[in-house]
Chains A and B, each alone.
Chain A
Amino acid sequence: MKKIIKITLFLLCLCFLSGLILSFVWEKSAGKIAANENRAKMAAVLAIFPGEDITELSGGGEQYWRAGAEGYAFESSIMGFQDEIKAVIGVDKNMEEIKGIIILKCLETPGLGGEVTKDKFLKQFLVKNSPFTVVKTAPREKYDIQAVTGATISSRAVVKMINERLARMRAVIKE
Protein backbone atom coordinates (compact mmCIF):
# COMPACT_ATOMS: atom_id res chain seq x y z
CA MET A 1 0.00 0.00 0.00
CA LYS A 2 2.81 2.36 0.86
CA LYS A 3 4.45 1.53 -2.45
CA ILE A 4 1.45 2.53 -4.54
CA ILE A 5 1.29 5.93 -2.82
CA LYS A 6 4.97 6.50 -3.50
CA ILE A 7 4.58 5.58 -7.19
CA THR A 8 1.50 7.75 -7.59
CA LEU A 9 3.16 10.72 -5.94
CA PHE A 10 6.25 10.32 -8.10
CA LEU A 11 4.27 10.26 -11.35
CA LEU A 12 2.12 13.14 -10.15
CA CYS A 13 5.16 15.33 -9.47
CA LEU A 14 6.78 14.39 -12.76
CA CYS A 15 3.67 15.22 -14.78
CA PHE A 16 3.12 18.42 -12.84
CA LEU A 17 6.68 19.59 -13.56
CA SER A 18 6.34 18.65 -17.21
CA GLY A 19 3.08 20.59 -17.48
CA LEU A 20 4.65 23.58 -15.78
CA ILE A 21 7.61 23.68 -18.18
CA LEU A 22 5.40 23.20 -21.23
CA SER A 23 2.95 25.93 -20.31
CA PHE A 24 5.91 28.28 -19.83
CA VAL A 25 7.37 27.41 -23.25
CA TRP A 26 3.94 27.72 -24.89
CA GLU A 27 3.36 31.12 -23.27
CA LYS A 28 6.64 32.32 -24.81
CA SER A 29 5.95 31.12 -28.35
CA ALA A 30 2.16 31.27 -28.78
CA GLY A 31 2.30 34.74 -30.37
CA LYS A 32 4.92 33.77 -32.92
CA ILE A 33 3.07 30.60 -33.85
CA ALA A 34 -0.17 32.52 -34.38
CA ALA A 35 1.65 35.00 -36.65
CA ASN A 36 3.17 32.12 -38.63
CA GLU A 37 -0.22 30.46 -39.03
CA ASN A 38 -1.73 33.69 -40.25
CA ARG A 39 1.00 34.04 -42.85
CA ALA A 40 0.44 30.45 -44.00
CA LYS A 41 -3.31 31.14 -44.32
CA MET A 42 -2.72 34.19 -46.50
CA ALA A 43 -0.25 32.23 -48.62
CA ALA A 44 -2.87 29.50 -49.06
CA VAL A 45 -5.55 32.00 -50.12
CA LEU A 46 -3.11 33.52 -52.62
CA ALA A 47 -2.23 30.07 -53.94
CA ILE A 48 -5.91 29.38 -54.68
CA PHE A 49 -6.49 32.85 -56.18
CA PRO A 50 -3.13 33.89 -57.65
CA GLY A 51 -2.72 37.59 -58.34
CA GLU A 52 -6.01 38.62 -56.78
CA ASP A 53 -6.57 41.38 -54.27
CA ILE A 54 -7.28 39.70 -50.96
CA THR A 55 -9.47 41.55 -48.46
CA GLU A 56 -10.34 40.23 -45.08
CA LEU A 57 -14.04 40.43 -44.24
CA SER A 58 -16.20 39.33 -41.39
CA GLY A 59 -19.90 38.81 -41.06
CA GLY A 60 -22.30 36.61 -39.14
CA GLY A 61 -19.57 35.93 -36.61
CA GLU A 62 -17.34 34.40 -39.29
CA GLN A 63 -14.09 35.57 -40.83
CA TYR A 64 -13.45 35.08 -44.52
CA TRP A 65 -11.48 36.53 -47.41
CA ARG A 66 -12.69 38.00 -50.68
CA ALA A 67 -10.34 37.56 -53.62
CA GLY A 68 -11.09 40.44 -55.99
CA ALA A 69 -14.15 39.55 -58.06
CA GLU A 70 -13.06 35.93 -58.37
CA GLY A 71 -14.45 34.37 -55.24
CA TYR A 72 -14.15 33.78 -51.54
CA ALA A 73 -11.96 31.76 -49.25
CA PHE A 74 -12.43 30.69 -45.67
CA GLU A 75 -10.78 28.61 -43.03
CA SER A 76 -12.19 25.35 -41.85
CA SER A 77 -11.33 22.75 -39.26
CA ILE A 78 -12.60 19.46 -37.91
CA MET A 79 -11.42 16.70 -35.60
CA GLY A 80 -9.75 13.99 -37.64
CA PHE A 81 -8.47 10.61 -36.50
CA GLN A 82 -5.51 11.89 -34.48
CA ASP A 83 -5.89 15.62 -34.15
CA GLU A 84 -7.57 18.61 -35.70
CA ILE A 85 -7.43 18.95 -39.49
CA LYS A 86 -7.31 22.57 -40.68
CA ALA A 87 -7.79 23.79 -44.22
CA VAL A 88 -8.40 26.85 -46.37
CA ILE A 89 -11.22 26.39 -48.89
CA GLY A 90 -11.68 28.65 -51.92
CA VAL A 91 -14.95 28.97 -53.85
CA ASP A 92 -16.03 30.99 -56.88
CA LYS A 93 -18.05 34.18 -56.49
CA ASN A 94 -21.43 32.42 -56.76
CA MET A 95 -20.30 29.82 -54.21
CA GLU A 96 -21.11 27.07 -56.66
CA GLU A 97 -17.69 25.68 -57.49
CA ILE A 98 -14.81 24.75 -55.25
CA LYS A 99 -11.70 26.48 -56.56
CA GLY A 100 -9.14 24.93 -54.29
CA ILE A 101 -8.51 23.28 -50.97
CA ILE A 102 -5.23 23.63 -49.11
CA ILE A 103 -4.69 21.62 -45.95
CA LEU A 104 -2.84 23.71 -43.37
CA LYS A 105 -2.57 21.23 -40.55
CA CYS A 106 -2.93 17.48 -40.56
CA LEU A 107 -1.31 15.12 -38.09
CA GLU A 108 -2.95 11.97 -39.42
CA THR A 109 -0.84 8.80 -39.79
CA PRO A 110 1.67 9.36 -42.62
CA GLY A 111 0.87 7.09 -45.55
CA LEU A 112 -2.72 6.43 -44.45
CA GLY A 113 -4.74 9.37 -43.11
CA GLY A 114 -1.96 11.69 -44.24
CA GLU A 115 -2.95 10.94 -47.83
CA VAL A 116 -6.01 13.22 -47.50
CA THR A 117 -3.64 16.17 -47.88
CA LYS A 118 -2.49 14.93 -51.27
CA ASP A 119 -3.80 16.17 -54.61
CA LYS A 120 -5.06 12.73 -55.57
CA PHE A 121 -7.74 12.95 -52.87
CA LEU A 122 -8.36 16.71 -52.88
CA LYS A 123 -8.76 17.12 -56.64
CA GLN A 124 -12.00 15.11 -56.40
CA PHE A 125 -13.63 18.20 -54.91
CA LEU A 126 -12.54 20.69 -57.56
CA VAL A 127 -15.08 22.49 -59.76
CA LYS A 128 -17.88 20.79 -57.82
CA ASN A 129 -20.36 21.81 -55.21
CA SER A 130 -21.35 20.35 -51.85
CA PRO A 131 -22.92 18.21 -50.46
CA PHE A 132 -20.46 15.43 -51.17
CA THR A 133 -20.85 11.80 -50.16
CA VAL A 134 -18.06 9.40 -49.22
CA VAL A 135 -17.83 6.11 -51.08
CA LYS A 136 -15.31 3.30 -50.74
CA THR A 137 -15.44 2.12 -54.36
CA ALA A 138 -14.77 4.06 -57.54
CA PRO A 139 -17.10 7.11 -57.56
CA ARG A 140 -20.22 6.72 -59.71
CA GLU A 141 -22.14 9.92 -59.04
CA LYS A 142 -20.63 13.33 -59.68
CA TYR A 143 -20.55 14.21 -56.00
CA ASP A 144 -19.10 10.93 -54.79
CA ILE A 145 -15.72 11.26 -53.10
CA GLN A 146 -13.62 8.12 -52.99
CA ALA A 147 -12.17 7.64 -49.51
CA VAL A 148 -8.46 7.00 -49.07
CA THR A 149 -7.89 3.26 -48.58
CA GLY A 150 -7.26 2.53 -44.92
CA ALA A 151 -8.25 6.02 -43.88
CA THR A 152 -12.03 6.11 -43.95
CA ILE A 153 -12.23 8.16 -40.74
CA SER A 154 -9.88 10.90 -42.02
CA SER A 155 -11.60 10.96 -45.42
CA ARG A 156 -15.06 11.21 -43.84
CA ALA A 157 -13.83 14.00 -41.58
CA VAL A 158 -12.54 16.05 -44.52
CA VAL A 159 -15.76 15.56 -46.50
CA LYS A 160 -17.92 16.42 -43.48
CA MET A 161 -15.80 19.50 -42.83
CA ILE A 162 -16.22 20.72 -46.41
CA ASN A 163 -19.96 20.00 -46.54
CA GLU A 164 -20.75 21.73 -43.26
CA ARG A 165 -18.44 24.65 -43.80
CA LEU A 166 -19.74 25.36 -47.30
CA ALA A 167 -23.35 25.28 -46.13
CA ARG A 168 -22.56 27.63 -43.28
CA MET A 169 -20.47 30.06 -45.33
CA ARG A 170 -23.02 30.11 -48.11
CA ALA A 171 -25.56 31.40 -45.62
CA VAL A 172 -23.10 33.95 -44.20
CA ILE A 173 -21.76 35.33 -47.47
CA LYS A 174 -25.17 35.50 -49.21
CA GLU A 175 -26.37 37.91 -46.55
Chain B
Amino acid sequence: MKEFVKGLFEKNPILCYLLGLCPTLAVTTNVVNALTMGVSVIFVLFFSNVIISLIRKAVPTQVRIASYIVVIATFVTIADIFLQANYYEISRALGPFIPLIVVNCIILGRAEAFASRNGIVPSMLDALGMGTGFTLILCLMGSIREILGSGTLLGFKAVPAFFPQFLVMILPAGAFITLGLLVGAHQALKMKYKIK
Protein backbone atom coordinates (compact mmCIF):
# COMPACT_ATOMS: atom_id res chain seq x y z
CA MET B 1 0.00 0.00 0.00
CA LYS B 2 2.88 2.32 0.81
CA GLU B 3 4.05 1.90 -2.79
CA PHE B 4 0.70 3.11 -4.11
CA VAL B 5 0.22 6.11 -1.82
CA LYS B 6 3.69 7.57 -2.25
CA GLY B 7 3.06 8.46 -5.90
CA LEU B 8 -0.08 10.44 -5.12
CA PHE B 9 1.43 13.21 -3.06
CA GLU B 10 4.67 12.58 -1.24
CA LYS B 11 6.69 11.50 -4.28
CA ASN B 12 4.37 12.77 -7.00
CA PRO B 13 6.28 12.35 -10.27
CA ILE B 14 5.39 15.81 -11.58
CA LEU B 15 5.48 17.92 -8.43
CA CYS B 16 8.37 16.19 -6.74
CA TYR B 17 10.67 14.92 -9.49
CA LEU B 18 9.48 17.26 -12.27
CA LEU B 19 9.29 14.24 -14.60
CA GLY B 20 7.11 14.00 -17.68
CA LEU B 21 6.81 17.75 -18.10
CA CYS B 22 6.39 17.66 -21.88
CA PRO B 23 2.84 16.19 -21.79
CA THR B 24 2.11 18.04 -18.56
CA LEU B 25 2.65 21.38 -20.22
CA ALA B 26 1.36 20.54 -23.68
CA VAL B 27 -1.90 18.61 -23.34
CA THR B 28 -3.44 20.24 -20.26
CA THR B 29 -5.40 22.87 -22.17
CA ASN B 30 -8.60 21.04 -21.23
CA VAL B 31 -9.68 18.26 -18.89
CA VAL B 32 -10.61 15.64 -21.50
CA ASN B 33 -7.17 15.73 -23.13
CA ALA B 34 -5.49 15.66 -19.73
CA LEU B 35 -7.57 12.69 -18.60
CA THR B 36 -6.93 10.70 -21.79
CA MET B 37 -3.23 11.37 -21.52
CA GLY B 38 -3.24 10.35 -17.86
CA VAL B 39 -5.14 7.12 -18.49
CA SER B 40 -2.83 6.22 -21.40
CA VAL B 41 0.18 6.78 -19.16
CA ILE B 42 -1.34 4.64 -16.36
CA PHE B 43 -1.95 1.85 -18.91
CA VAL B 44 1.57 1.98 -20.33
CA LEU B 45 3.19 2.41 -16.92
CA PHE B 46 1.26 -0.48 -15.39
CA PHE B 47 1.96 -3.04 -18.09
CA SER B 48 5.56 -2.04 -18.71
CA ASN B 49 6.26 -2.17 -14.96
CA VAL B 50 4.69 -5.64 -14.76
CA ILE B 51 6.63 -7.00 -17.75
CA ILE B 52 9.90 -5.40 -16.72
CA SER B 53 9.53 -6.72 -13.20
CA LEU B 54 8.85 -10.19 -14.64
CA ILE B 55 11.87 -10.24 -16.93
CA ARG B 56 14.18 -8.27 -14.63
CA LYS B 57 16.40 -11.28 -13.86
CA ALA B 58 16.74 -12.28 -17.53
CA VAL B 59 17.64 -8.86 -18.91
CA PRO B 60 21.40 -8.52 -19.57
CA THR B 61 22.53 -5.36 -17.70
CA GLN B 62 24.35 -3.95 -20.74
CA VAL B 63 21.18 -3.66 -22.80
CA ARG B 64 18.61 -3.08 -20.06
CA ILE B 65 17.60 0.41 -21.19
CA ALA B 66 17.16 -0.80 -24.78
CA SER B 67 15.01 -3.69 -23.56
CA TYR B 68 12.88 -1.41 -21.39
CA ILE B 69 12.32 0.90 -24.34
CA VAL B 70 11.15 -2.01 -26.52
CA VAL B 71 8.66 -3.06 -23.83
CA ILE B 72 7.45 0.51 -23.30
CA ALA B 73 7.18 1.24 -27.03
CA THR B 74 5.07 -1.89 -27.52
CA PHE B 75 2.49 -0.76 -24.99
CA VAL B 76 2.52 2.82 -26.23
CA THR B 77 1.80 1.61 -29.75
CA ILE B 78 -1.07 -0.55 -28.43
CA ALA B 79 -2.51 2.48 -26.63
CA ASP B 80 -2.10 4.60 -29.75
CA ILE B 81 -3.80 2.05 -32.02
CA PHE B 82 -6.61 1.59 -29.47
CA LEU B 83 -7.27 5.34 -29.29
CA GLN B 84 -7.19 5.67 -33.08
CA ALA B 85 -9.71 2.86 -33.42
CA ASN B 86 -12.11 3.83 -30.64
CA TYR B 87 -11.60 7.49 -29.73
CA TYR B 88 -10.55 8.99 -33.04
CA GLU B 89 -11.33 12.62 -32.18
CA ILE B 90 -9.33 12.56 -28.96
CA SER B 91 -6.52 10.75 -30.73
CA ARG B 92 -6.36 13.53 -33.31
CA ALA B 93 -6.48 16.23 -30.64
CA LEU B 94 -3.57 14.64 -28.79
CA GLY B 95 -1.69 14.19 -32.07
CA PRO B 96 1.93 13.16 -31.59
CA PHE B 97 1.77 13.27 -27.80
CA ILE B 98 0.54 9.68 -27.48
CA PRO B 99 3.46 8.19 -29.46
CA LEU B 100 5.70 10.50 -27.42
CA ILE B 101 4.77 8.62 -24.22
CA VAL B 102 7.60 6.28 -25.27
CA VAL B 103 10.10 8.88 -24.17
CA ASN B 104 8.12 10.02 -21.14
CA CYS B 105 10.73 9.89 -18.41
CA ILE B 106 8.22 8.83 -15.73
CA ILE B 107 7.88 5.43 -17.38
CA LEU B 108 11.55 4.79 -18.06
CA GLY B 109 12.33 6.27 -14.65
CA ARG B 110 10.00 3.89 -12.81
CA ALA B 111 11.25 0.95 -14.88
CA GLU B 112 14.86 1.67 -14.01
CA ALA B 113 14.38 2.87 -10.44
CA PHE B 114 11.64 0.53 -9.27
CA ALA B 115 10.36 -2.28 -11.49
CA SER B 116 13.84 -3.60 -12.30
CA ARG B 117 14.56 -4.02 -8.58
CA ASN B 118 11.23 -5.14 -7.12
CA GLY B 119 8.70 -7.95 -7.47
CA ILE B 120 5.53 -7.83 -9.50
CA VAL B 121 3.04 -6.77 -6.84
CA PRO B 122 5.02 -3.77 -5.53
CA SER B 123 5.76 -2.80 -9.16
CA MET B 124 2.04 -2.87 -10.01
CA LEU B 125 1.20 -0.70 -7.01
CA ASP B 126 4.06 1.65 -7.80
CA ALA B 127 2.85 2.02 -11.40
CA LEU B 128 -0.75 2.64 -10.33
CA GLY B 129 0.30 5.16 -7.69
CA MET B 130 2.70 7.07 -9.91
CA GLY B 131 0.24 6.96 -12.82
CA THR B 132 -2.63 8.18 -10.67
CA GLY B 133 -0.47 10.94 -9.23
CA PHE B 134 0.45 12.00 -12.77
CA THR B 135 -3.19 11.88 -13.90
CA LEU B 136 -4.41 13.86 -10.87
CA ILE B 137 -1.98 16.69 -11.50
CA LEU B 138 -2.74 16.64 -15.23
CA CYS B 139 -6.49 16.88 -14.54
CA LEU B 140 -5.96 19.57 -11.92
CA MET B 141 -3.92 21.62 -14.38
CA GLY B 142 -6.42 20.89 -17.14
CA SER B 143 -9.31 22.11 -14.96
CA ILE B 144 -7.54 25.27 -13.85
CA ARG B 145 -6.48 26.15 -17.38
CA GLU B 146 -9.83 25.27 -18.95
CA ILE B 147 -11.85 27.27 -16.38
CA LEU B 148 -9.62 30.33 -16.49
CA GLY B 149 -8.73 30.15 -20.18
CA SER B 150 -11.94 29.07 -21.89
CA GLY B 151 -14.49 29.49 -19.07
CA THR B 152 -15.63 25.88 -19.41
CA LEU B 153 -15.14 22.60 -17.58
CA LEU B 154 -15.38 19.34 -19.55
CA GLY B 155 -16.82 21.45 -22.35
CA PHE B 156 -19.66 22.90 -20.25
CA LYS B 157 -19.92 26.54 -19.22
CA ALA B 158 -18.41 26.75 -15.75
CA VAL B 159 -18.19 30.43 -14.85
CA PRO B 160 -20.76 33.24 -14.72
CA ALA B 161 -20.94 35.39 -17.85
CA PHE B 162 -19.24 38.43 -16.29
CA PHE B 163 -16.15 36.40 -15.45
CA PRO B 164 -13.28 37.29 -17.81
CA GLN B 165 -11.38 34.66 -19.79
CA PHE B 166 -7.63 34.73 -19.64
CA LEU B 167 -6.33 33.65 -23.03
CA VAL B 168 -2.83 33.31 -21.59
CA MET B 169 -3.98 30.30 -19.57
CA ILE B 170 -4.51 28.10 -22.62
CA LEU B 171 -1.25 29.29 -24.18
CA PRO B 172 2.06 27.66 -23.19
CA ALA B 173 2.85 30.46 -20.73
CA GLY B 174 -0.28 29.57 -18.76
CA ALA B 175 0.97 26.00 -18.43
CA PHE B 176 4.23 27.16 -16.88
CA ILE B 177 2.48 29.57 -14.53
CA THR B 178 0.02 26.88 -13.34
CA LEU B 179 2.77 24.28 -12.93
CA GLY B 180 4.99 26.70 -11.03
CA LEU B 181 2.20 27.60 -8.59
CA LEU B 182 1.32 23.92 -8.08
CA VAL B 183 4.94 22.94 -7.39
CA GLY B 184 5.18 25.84 -4.93
CA ALA B 185 1.96 24.84 -3.18
CA HIS B 186 3.16 21.24 -2.97
CA GLN B 187 6.42 22.30 -1.33
CA ALA B 188 4.60 24.65 1.06
CA LEU B 189 2.24 21.85 2.14
CA LYS B 190 5.16 19.49 2.65
CA MET B 191 7.01 22.06 4.76
CA LYS B 192 3.94 22.75 6.84
CA TYR B 193 3.30 19.10 7.65
CA LYS B 194 7.03 18.31 7.75
CA ILE B 195 6.94 15.47 5.22
CA LYS B 196 10.35 14.70 3.83
Query: Number of contacting residues on A, CB 8 A?
Result: 25
A32 to chain B, nearest CB (A): 4
Is the Cβ of B71 less than 8 Å from the Cβ of A18? yes
Contact of B95 among A11, A18, A107 (CB under 8 A): A107
Is the Cβ of B85 less than 8 Å from the Cβ of A36? yes
Is the Cβ of A110 less than 8 Å from the Cβ of B96? yes
Query: B103: CB under 8 A from chain A?
Result: no
Query: A108: CB under 8 A from chain B?
Result: yes
What is the interface of chain B mostly: helix, strand, loop, or mixed?
Answer: helix
Across the interface, which residues of A come within 8 angstroms of B59, CB to CB?
Answer: 10
Q: How far is the CA of A23 from the CA of B9 in the complex (A)?
A: 38
Q: How far is the CA of A11 from the CA of B96 in the complex (A)?
A: 27
Is the Cβ of B70 less than 8 Å from the Cβ of A15? yes
Q: How far is the CA of A33 from the CA of B85 in the complex (A)?
A: 5
Across the interface, which residues of A come within 8 angstroms of B82, CB to CB?
Answer: 25, 29
Query: B166: CB under 8 A from chain A?
Result: no
Contact of B67 among A14, A32, A40, A109 (CB under 8 A): A14
Q: Which segment, of B12-20, B72-80, B179-187, faces chain A?
A: B72-80
Q: How far is the CA of A26 from the CA of B80 in the complex (A)?
A: 10
Query: A167: CB under 8 A from chain B?
Result: no
Q: How far is the CA of A21 from the CA of B81 in the complex (A)?
A: 12
Chain B, Cβ-Cβ closest to A106: B95
List residues of chain B with CB under 8 Å of any chain A CB. 26, 58-60, 62-63, 66-67, 70-71, 73-74, 77-78, 81-82, 84-86, 88, 92, 95-97, 99
Beyond A14-B70, A21-B78, A33-B84, 16 additional pairs, beta carbon < 8 A: A7-B60, A7-B62, A10-B59, A18-B71, A18-B73, A18-B74, A22-B78, A25-B81, A25-B82, A32-B86, A33-B85, A36-B88, A39-B88, A40-B88, A40-B92, A114-B95
Q: Sort A-B residue pairs by CB-CB distance and give the 8 closest, nearest first.
A: A29-B85, A36-B88, A32-B85, A18-B74, A107-B96, A7-B60, A33-B84, A33-B85
30 contacts between A and B (CB under 8 A): A6-B60, A7-B60, A10-B58, A10-B67, A11-B67, A11-B70, A14-B67, A14-B70, A14-B71, A15-B70, A18-B70, A18-B71, A18-B74, A21-B74, A22-B78, A22-B81, A25-B78, A25-B81, A26-B81, A29-B81, A33-B84, A33-B85, A36-B84, A36-B85, A107-B96, A107-B99, A109-B96, A110-B96, A114-B95, A114-B96
